[in-house]
Amino acid sequence: MNPVDLLGKIIEISHSNLEIPSRISSILNIIAQEMHFEEVIVYTFDRDKRLTCKFMNQKSVLFLILNQYRCHIGEGIVGSVAQKRVPQFFTIKDIPPRFGCLFYPDLNGVIEKFKTFSFLPLSDDSYLYGVMVVISSSRETIHDSEKVLLSMLSREIGGILRASELIFSSKKRISELATLSELGKTLTSNIEPHELLKNIALIIARALNATFVTIRLEHTFLKLDSQRFTYGVIEPSIENYVKELEKEAVRTKQAISLGELAPAEHKDSFKLSLYASPMLSKNRMLGTITICGTRSQQDLALEENSQYLIHTIANYISSGLENTLLNTKLRDVVKELGDAQKRLIEQEKFRSLGEMTANIAHEIKNPLVIIGGFTKRLAKKIQFEQTENRYIDIILKEVSRLETILNEILDYVKENPILIEPCNINDCMDEILYLFNSDVTWEQVHIVKEYDKALPSIMCDGQQIKQVFINILMNAFEAMHGSGTISIKTEQIKLDNKTFAAVSITDTGGGIDPAIISNIFNPFFTTKERGTGLGLAISNKIVMNHNGHLEIENVVGKGVTFVVYLPFKNSITKEEFL
Amino acid sequence: MKTIKLLVVDDEENIRILFKEELEEEGYQIELASNGLEAIKKIKESNFDLIILDIKMPGMDGIQALNAIKNVNKDQPVILCSAYGEFKQDFSSWVSDGYVVKSADTRELKQTIKNILHIT
Ligand SMILES: Nc1ncnc2c1ncn2[C@@H]1O[C@H](COP(=O)(O)OP(=O)(O)OP(=O)(O)O)[C@@H](O)[C@H]1O
Ligand SMILES: [Mg+2]
C-alpha cells in the first residue's frame, strides 16, 4: 500500500463509528502489517498520570512484558519522549538501557532480535495523550519519509485519544450532575434528618464507588440518636484514621486526605485512600464527610482530579442539610409550644374551677369562724348546766370539723402548687436567656456562658429557681443600663462536705455602693425610681427554702457577681416549703 | 406596764368584734379598721405595736395593704390573717412577720402575737 492510501485508510478508520479501542487496535494492526513492524504499542496515561501500555498490534510479543510496568513522565525513553514531545529513533546499538521503568537487560532473550526502535509522542497542538512505540526486527534503519509518515499517523491516533478523553470526561461530568441532582432531590424532600443523612451517604458511595462514606455532624443543636451516619463498613483498623482526618478537616476547615496527613515515609504503605471534607454553611461547621476506597481500585474517583467532586458535594449539601436540621428543630419547638398551650388551657380550666371553690370556701369560712368564736365566748361567759355544756361542745366540734374540711379544700385548690422535681439548671438558665434574647431591649447585652455540661440535676421547684435567676439578671441589666456583658457560669462546688450547684452571674454595671450593700436583701429596699425592692428579698427566701444560699462578690467601679448555691441532695418536701 | 396597741383590719364586722373581745381579754388595747385605706390612715395618726391584717378584702387587698404599710414604716410588724393558707406561698406575703390561718380557735393567733412582740 502506498503511503497516501495508507494514510487515507487510517483516517477513514479513525473517523469510523467503531468503539475507540477497536479503532486504535485496527490502526496499529495496519501500521504493523503495511509498514512491516513487529511491534506497534501505544502507551496512554493512567488516572494517576503514569504511562502504561494500553494498546498493541495483534502479533505483539513485547506488550505482555512491558504492560507490567508503568512509568512517570521523564522516566526512561518512553517518559522522555512524553516530556519533550519529540520523536526519538534508535537502533539496537544505540538504544539507552532504560525503556520506561524497565531496563532492557530485563528483556534479555527478547530484545536482541529487534533492530530499530521508534518512539513517537501522541499529541495534538496542546495536549499529550500518550506515546507510540514502533519496533522492527527486519529493518536496519527507518527512512526519513517513513518517519514523517509515522509522525502523521501518531497525530491521528492522538486525535482519537483526545476524542476518547472528551467522551470520558463528559460521561463523568454527566454522572456527577446526576449525582448532584439526586442529592438535590433528597435534600429538598421532607424526610427526617437521619433518613436524609443515610440517603446522602448512600448516593455518594454509589457515585464514587466508595468502600464507605461516613457523615459526622459537629453541630449538636439537634438531639439526634447518633451524630454519625455511615454507608458501608468502617473497619476497626482504620477507625482512628477516620477520626483524625475528621478532626483535622474541622480544625482547618479544609478538605484533607490520608496521604497529606501521614508522614511522607508512610505514604505508600496505605492500601486505602481516605478523604475528609468539612461541610460548612455560612462558615458554621456542620460536620464532615469522609470517603474511603481501596488504592488498587484505579477507578475510585478519589484520586486528585476527582477530589473536587467531594468538595462540591460537601458545599452543596451543607446549606440543604442545615435547612433540614433547622426545620426539624423548628418542628420540635412548634410541637413543644402546642403542648405547652394545651397544658395552659388545662391549667386555666382547673384554675377557674379552683377559684370558684376557693371563693365559696372563703365565704363559708368567715361565718364559721364567727359562729365558733362567739360560741366559745358564750361558753366562757356563762356557767351552763352540764347538758348545755355538752351542746356547746358539739357545736364547737362540728365547727372545727368544718374548718378542717375547708382548709383541706383550700389547700388542695391553691394556685401554684409547689413542684419539687429534678431540674437541669443549665436548661432552666437557657430557657430564660432565650426569652431575654428575643427582647430588643436586651440587644446590647452580651451574654457569655460557661456551663458545666455535666452538672447533675437538682431537686427544686424549677419555676421558683427561674424566678431567682430572672431577678438577678434583671438587676444586672438595670445596673448596666441595658448595655454590657453578663457572664454566667455553672459549676459543682463542695462546701463542708456538701456538694452544691453554683450559678454565678457577673455583670459590668459598676457594682454596689458599700454603704447600702447590707440593705439589699431587705424587703422594699430599692435605689430605683420604679423598683419595689422585693427582687432580692424574694430570691433570698426562695434559695433559703431550697437549703441553699446566695453570695455576693462586689467590685466597686466594675460589677457584681451573685452566686446562687443550691444543694444537690435535698431532703426538703413540699410541706417544708410552707 | 405600757399598754400594747394592736390594729385589727378586717372587712367583716363580726370578725372584728370577735378579735377585739378576745384580744382585749389578753390585755391589749385594740383599734379597728374595716379596710386597707382606713388602716393606712390610722397608722399615720398613731403608732401600733402590731397590725393584724386580713388578706381578702374588697378595695385594697391585704397584700397591697401590707406593701403600703411597709412603705410607710418598713419596721412595722404585721401578721397576715386569712381564711386559708394559700397565701403562705405567695412570694409577697413572705415579707410579713407572721401568718395565721383564721380560725374559731384564737389560740394560734394569740401565740403568734406573743412571739412577735416577745411576750412570755
Ligand atoms: N447587680 C447589681 N448591681 C448594682 N446594684 C444592685 C445589683 N443588684 C441589686 N442591686 C441593688 O440592690 C437593690 C435591691 O435590689 P432588688 O432586686 O431587691 O430590688 P430592685 O431591683 O430595686 O426592685 P425590683 O427587683 O423589686 O424591681 C437595687 O435597688 C440596687 O440598688
Ligand atoms: Mg430587682
Contact A302, A286 (CB under 8 A): no
* Identity of the residue in B12, B22, B104 whose CB atom sits nearest the CB atom of A399: B104
| Neighbour count for residue B65 (Cβ, 10 Å) | 26
Nearest CA in chain A to B81: A366
* Identity of the residue in B12, B88, B92 whose CB atom sits nearest the CB atom of A578: B88
Q: Going residue by residue through chain A (578 aa), what tens digit of pLDDT does each one get?
A: 788 888 888 888 888 888 888 889 999 999 999 999 999 999 998 877 889 999 999 999 888 888 888 888 888 899 999 999 999 999 888 888 888 777 777 777 788 889 999 999 998 777 889 999 999 988 888 888 889 999 888 988 888 888 888 877 777 777 777 777 777 777 777 677 778 788 888 888 887 778 888 888 876 655 566 778 888 888 888 888 888 888 888 888 888 877 777 665 555 555 677 888 888 877 678 888 888 876 544 444 445 545 667 777 777 777 777 777 777 777 777 777 777 777 766 666 655 666 677 777 777 888 899 999 999 998 888 887 888 888 888 899 889 888 888 877 766 655 455 567 788 999 999 988 988 887 788 989 999 999 999 998 888 888 889 889 999 999 999 999 999 999 999 999 998 888 899 999 999 999 999 999 988 987 778 898 877 777 888 888 888 878 899 999 999 999 999 999 999 876 554 444 44
Residues of chain A positioned with their CB less than 8 A from the CB of B56: 362
Contact A285, A274 (CB under 8 A): no
User: CA nearest B62: which of B34, B103, B30, B26?
Assistant: B34
Contact A143, A178 (CB under 8 A): no
Residues of chain A positioned with their CB less than 8 A from the CB of B15: 366, 369-370, 373
Residue type, B84: Y
In CATH, which of 3.30.450.40, 3.40.190.10, 1.10.540.10, 3.10.520.10 is domain A170-337? 3.30.450.40
DSSP label at A496?
T
Q: Is A497 left (phi over 0), alpha (psi -120 to 50) or beta?
A: left
Q: Which CATH superfamily is domain A421-577 in?
A: Histidine kinase-like ATPase, C-terminal domain (3.30.565.10)
Across the interface, do B84 and A410 touch by the CB < 8 Å criterion? yes
Distance from B102 to chain A by nearest Cα, in Å? Answer: 7
> Residue A102: beta bridge partners?
A99
Contact A210, A300 (CB under 8 A): yes
Largest CA distance in chain A: 157
Distance from A410 to chain B by nearest Cα, in Å? Answer: 6
> Is the complex ipTM more than 0.90?
no
Residues of chain B positioned with their CB less than 8 A from the CB of A377: 18, 21-22
Q: What is the CA A438 to chain-centroid distance, rounded?
A: 26
Q: DSSP string of A358-417? A: HHHHHHHHHHHHHHHHHHHHHHHHS---HHHHHHHHHHHHHHHHHHHHHHHHHHHT-SS-
Distance from B82 to chain A by nearest Cα, in Å? Answer: 9
The two beta strands, B5-9 and B29-33, are parallel
Q: Is A18 left (phi over 0), alpha (psi -120 to 50) or beta?
A: beta
* Most informative mutation of A474, A478, A480, A516 for ligand 1 (most atoms within 8 A of CB): A478
Domain ranges of chain A: 3-169, 170-337, 341-413, 421-577
Nearest CA in chain A to B96: A523
Indicate which CATH number applies to the domain containing B52.
3.40.50.2300
Distance from A501 to chain B by nearest Cα, in Å? Answer: 23
Name the closest-CA residue to atom 8, ligand 1.
Answer: A475
Across the interface, do B104 and A415 touch by the CB < 8 Å criterion? no
User: CA nearest A317: which of A411, A211, A182, A437?
Assistant: A182
Secondary structure (3-state) at A300: coil
Across the interface, do B14 and A362 touch by the CB < 8 Å criterion? no
Q: In whole angstroms, what is the distance from residue A546 CA to residue A570 CA?
A: 7
- Which cell goes with A363? 365565704
Query: How many angstroms separate the Cα of A477 from the Cα of each of A133, A487, A508?
Result: 84, 12, 9
Provide the b/e sequence for A138-151 (b: ≥16 CB within 10 Å): ebeebeeebeebbb
* Identity of the residue in A374, A415, A524 whose CB atom sits nearest the CB atom of B86: A415
Provide the b/e sequence for A45-71 (b: ≥16 CB within 10 Å): beeeebbbbbbbbeebebbebbeebbb
Q: What is the CA A435 to chain-centroid distance, rounded?
A: 27
* Identity of the residue in B18, B71, B92 whose CB atom sits nearest the CB atom of A370: B18
Which ligand 1 atom is the nearest neighbour of the CA of A476?
A: 1
Q: Is the pTM above the cut of 0.80?
A: no
Burial class (CB in 10 A: 0-12, 13-18, 19+), A338: exposed
The mean predicted confidence, pLDDT, of chain A is 82
- Which cell goes with A201? 451517604
Q: In whole angstroms, what is the distance from residue A539 CA to residue A550 CA?
A: 9
* Most informative mutation of A528, A543, A560 for ligand 1 (most atoms within 8 A of CB): A528
How many structural domains compose chain B? 1
DSSP label at B57?
-
DSSP label at A275?
E
Q: Count, in order, helices (H) and strands (E) of chain A.
A: 14, 19
CATH of span A3-169: 3.30.450.40
Model confidence pLDDT, tens digit, residues B63-93: 778 888 888 887 899 998 877 655 545 555 5
- Which cell goes with A322? 442545615
The two beta strands, A498-506 and A484-495, are antiparallel
Domain that holds residue B51: 5-117
Model confidence pLDDT, tens digit, residues A44-81: 988 778 899 999 999 998 888 888 888 888 888 999 99
Largest CA distance in chain B: 38
Enumerate residues 178 to 207 of chain A having a beta carbon within 8 A of any beta carbon in chain B: none
Provide the b/e sequence for A77-94 (b: ≥16 CB within 10 Å): bbbbbbeeeebbbbebee
Are A170-337 and A421-577 the same fold in CATH? no
The number of C-alpha atoms within 13 Å of A358 and in the hemisphere containing its C-beta is: 19
The number of C-alpha atoms within 13 Å of A448 and in the hemisphere containing its C-beta is: 9
Size of interface A-B (CB pairs under 8 A): 97
* Most informative mutation of A529, A536, A538, A541 for ligand 1 (most atoms within 8 A of CB): A536
Q: DSSP string of A56-68? A: E-TT-STHHHHTT
Q: Does B20 touch chain A (CB under 8 A)?
A: no
Q: What's the N-to-C CA distance of chain B in angstroms?
A: 14
Residues of chain B positioned with their CB less than 8 A from the CB of A531: none
Name the closest-CA residue to atom 29, ligand 1.
Answer: A526
Secondary structure (3-state) at A276: strand
Across the interface, do B84 and A537 touch by the CB < 8 Å criterion? no
Residues of chain A positioned with their CB less than 8 A from the CB of B12: 366, 370
Residues of chain B positioned with their CB less than 8 A from the CB of A539: none
Q: What is the CA A4 to chain-centroid distance, rounded?
A: 65
Pocket of ligand 1 (CB under 6 A): A 471, 475-476, 479, 507, 509, 512, 520, 525-528, 531-537, 560
